[in-house]
Amino acid sequence: MKRKKIIGVMGPGGGATESDLANAEEIGKLIAKNGWILLNGGRKSGVMDAVSKGAKLNGGLTIGILPSDNLEGVSEFIDIPIVTGIGSARNNINILSSDIVVACGIGMGTLSEISLAIKADKKVILINNNNESKIFLNNLSWKKIGIAESPSEVAKLIKNYFD
């Protein structure tokens, strides 16, 4: 049996920019259209909510790995909430459960996920307008990080990785 690929999309909650949100929704849509499963942090906030919306409204399946120990604050666009009760320690579960990790925008939670992803030897794709973070992370990382300028480039990079 062949499992569908799981794409983890990470990004800021309250700190997400308009551009992060627009990118996230479009990435969610492309994930759904390509038949991949979306995984994210599950909350009704920022990039998590936007990417879930994009995937869900386009027929995708959405998994949310929640930090809290109950369903409060879950995005309405999450099909399967995983209630971890382990707070930010769940960031590592987000990473380990994703075949590919996309970071859409940047914030401290997202930065922890990018670092954990590289440490866990996951493929990472960055999409955001923060040039500093791209340069800094690429210099620090021992492996090439994918840099995308648009949601469609994110999807193209993902496809390349799977080929």
Least CB distance from residue 43 to a second copy, whole Å?
14
Q: Rule CB under 8 A: say whether 152 interacts with a second copy.
A: no
Token digits of residue 84? 């971890």
Which member of 18, 132, 144, 163 binds a second copy (CB under 8 A)?
132
Q: Rule CB under 8 A: say whether 31 interacts with a second copy.
A: no
**Could you give the C-alpha distances from 74 to 19, 58, 60, 110, 120, in angstroms and in order?**
22, 19, 17, 18, 27
Q: Rule CB under 8 A: say whether 45 interacts with a second copy.
A: no
Q: Which is nearer to a second copy, 141 or 156 (CB)?
A: 141
Least CB distance from residue 49 to a second copy, whole Å?
13
Which member of 27, 48, 51, 65 binds a second copy (CB under 8 A)?
65
Least CB distance from residue 59 to a second copy, whole Å?
13
Q: Crossing angle, helix 46-56 and helix 18-33, to 10 degrees?
A: 30
Cβ atoms within 10 A of the Cβ of 139, count?
7
Residue positions counted in the chain: 163
Order of all β-strands in the sheet with 80-83: 80-83, 62-66, 37-40, 6-10, 100-104, 123-127, 146-147
Q: Rule CB under 8 A: say whether 161 interacts with a second copy.
A: no
Q: Which residues 6+ apart lie within 8 Å of 18 measured at CB? A: none
Residues that bind a second copy (CB under 8 A): 1, 3-4, 6, 37, 56, 63, 65, 69-70, 76-93, 96-97, 106-109, 111-112, 115-116, 118-120, 130, 132-133, 135-136, 139-141
